[in-house]
Chain A
Amino acid sequence: MPALRLANLSKTYRNGVQALKGIDLEVAEGDFFALLGPNGAGKTTAIGIVTSLVNKTAGSVQVFGHDIDRELELAKACIGLVPQEINFNQFENVEDIVVNQAGYYGIPRAEAKRRAAKYLKELHLWEKRDGISRNLSGGMKRRLMIARALVHEPRLLILDEPTAGVDIEIRRSMWRFMRKINLEGTTIILTTHYLEEAENLCRNIAIIDGGRIIENDRMSNVLRKLTVETFVLNLRERLSAPPRIDGYDVRLVDESSLEVDVSRERSINRLFAGLSEQNLHVLSMRNKTNRLEELFMRLVEAKGAPPP
């Protein structure tokens, strides 16, 4: 039985925006699943429907076999949500937020306090427990929402951009934490705008664009499609025309920088050899595109633009 199954899920908002145009998706139990897509693709909408924050227009949702139309409360009990936007009471204190959330899930107060302590400690918020939540930093607020989502020990944890605006050190510690609870058996669905993050953590991936799933495969298979990368080189010399190097498309951006497309199969060494032969010296080099954007672009091109 999959942890999550979406069938033909559609959503048209009242303003006429068609946020989801019939999505089919399956996430296996125990998986660490990435849901990627550009801004406005429909990720948060899909998550909202699964967690009862948004009404669906058509289609069906099953959480561990519980259909949200027939067994809503059982389905809800399986899910923990870390939403994209802050949604706790900013005037409530940190511990109360977690304890009350446990209460809504029917966990008796003494047990709720024990668990709140456990998860606040794991997310390094224990010292802040008596403070008003508004006074937490942005990264702490995200971690508070993670603690809150875990307090009823859900089988499926859904995180909607949990690492947005979080510094690299905290992000790494969040990654370790997510990996740990995934190993302990929690199925995780993660949305993110950092491909590195998804690459590091997730085994399977779906890419959504314009309300449609345009890719759904193992992570390794999808990454293989990232065949071309574009590099920007800064040269010591000044040029008026791009150098010609066999097998590479080299473009002149300005008099001392070049842009080169390099495909996966081809090594980068021959590019440098070619430059050296012409007595050109590379001072620095960077990867031009955000790899995730690159991936989106290639996928959208490959599938052809979806009909409007």
Chain B
Amino acid sequence: MNRSRGRIRENLIGLYTIVYKEVVRVLRIWIQTIVPPAITMTLYFIIFGNLIGQRIGSMDGFDYMQFIAPGLIMMSIISNSYGNVVSSFFGAKFGKHIEEMLVSPLPNSMIILGHVAGGVARGFIVGLVVTAIALLFTDLDVEHPLVTLSVVLLTAVVFSLGGFINAMFARKFDDVTIVPTFILTPLTYLGGVFYSISLLPEFWQDVSKANPILYMVNAFRYGVLGVSDVNLGTAYAIIVGFVILLFAFSLFLMNRGVGIRD
């Protein structure tokens, strides 16, 4: 009993150590972690929101700038939480300092959680910065704060886990960019960031509904604006489902030592 309580405390200290290290890393290299998404998103707001948006008029009852703001915030959270974990964990593998964790009694679940927390932290920081930028262009009232926060958190967890799995399989630096370029970015663009899928023909609406990112973007948009193309319950079920699935898969890979133990 006492032994297991001591063990839990030790695990939490180990977890805290990773999280602290990861967050310090994000802040230390802020030019690489925080500035680029801020610049990209500013350009999106100016070009799509301001210049083109004025010609588009309203979408789902909001002016176009307001409509795309939640989508762009979500897009930055997705790519930054993923990017943080994939580069940090692959870096640890490549530089071999992952061995510092592997020889220690820290359980694999804690190693995963620590890196995921780092990715979530980066997602949150970038999300806040992009929100601040959005507020320079438009008003945003958060309709459902709890939905907004929980969707951000869960989505950041999903993509942090995705980055973790990517890093486990990656053997060289190129492998770190393949998934973001060929899968994440297309799915995000087609995930209703820039348009409501009600604009699409019925067939393409159905196809779009196979894209999990659509549910995340819309659940978040519901939190902020109060409108969504999808059912909120379905969205939560899908997001939580991914969290469980990806965590279990990460744990399986760590326990097998895929890509980290010969």
Contacts and interface: CB of A to CB of B under 8 A. Distances in A.
Interface of A: 13-14, 48, 51-55, 72-74, 76-77, 79, 81, 83, 85-90, 92, 96-97, 100-101, 103-109, 148
A34 to B, nearest CB: 22
Contacts of B262: 13-14, 48, 54-55
B54 to A, nearest CB: 46
Nearest to A78: B105
A97 B95 CA distance: 13
A297 to B, nearest CB: 30
A43 to B, nearest CB: 15
B14 A79 contact: no
B103 A52 contact: yes
A87 B100 contact: yes
A106 B261 contact: no
A103 B111 CA distance: 12
Interface residues of B, number: 26
A85 B96 CA distance: 9
Nearest to A14: B262
Given A104-B17, A106-B106, 10 more contacts: A53-B261, A54-B262, A55-B262, A73-B105, A74-B105, A76-B105, A79-B103, A97-B100, A103-B14, A105-B105
B10 A83 contact: no
B104 A105 contact: yes
Contacts of B17: 100, 103-104, 109
A106 B21 contact: no
Contacts of A51: 103
A83 B99 CA distance: 10
Nearest to B260: A53
Interface string B224-262: 000000000000000000000000000000000100011
24 contacts: A13-B262, A51-B103, A52-B103, A53-B102, A54-B261, A55-B262, A73-B105, A76-B103, A81-B103, A83-B99, A85-B96, A86-B96, A87-B100, A89-B92, A92-B97, A103-B13, A103-B17, A104-B14, A104-B101, A105-B10, A106-B9, A106-B13, A106-B14, A109-B13
A20 to B, nearest CB: 12
A89 B97 contact: yes
B212 interface: no
A106 B11 contact: yes
Nearest to B111: A104
B14 to A, nearest CB: 5
B107 interface: yes
A81 B105 CA distance: 13
Nearest to A108: B13
A42 to B, nearest CB: 13
Nearest to B9: A106
The 6 lowest CB-CB distance pairs between A and B, nearest first, are A106-B10, A103-B17, A104-B104, A87-B96, A73-B105, A76-B105
A100 B13 contact: no
Interface in B149-206: none
B171 to A, nearest CB: 13
Given A55-B261, A55-B262, A87-B96, A106 B103 contact: no
Contacts of A107: 13
Contacts of B99: 53, 83, 87
B16 interface: yes
A55 B257 contact: yes
B107 to A, nearest CB: 7
A14 B258 CA distance: 12
B100 A90 contact: no
Nearest to A88: B97
Contacts of B95: 87, 89-90
Given A100-B17, A104-B100, A73 B107 contact: yes
A108 B12 CA distance: 10
Nearest to B21: A100
Contacts of A72: 105
A113 B136 CA distance: 44
A81 B101 CA distance: 12
A64 B17 CA distance: 27
Contacts of A101: 100, 104
A277 B96 CA distance: 63
A148 B100 CA distance: 9
A231 to B, nearest CB: 44
Contacts of A74: 105
A88 B99 CA distance: 8
Contact of B100 (A55, A85, A88): A88
Interface in B61-102: 92, 95-97, 99-102
A148 B104 CA distance: 12
A198 to B, nearest CB: 24
Given A52-B102, A52-B103, A76-B105, A87 B14 contact: no
A109 B11 CA distance: 13
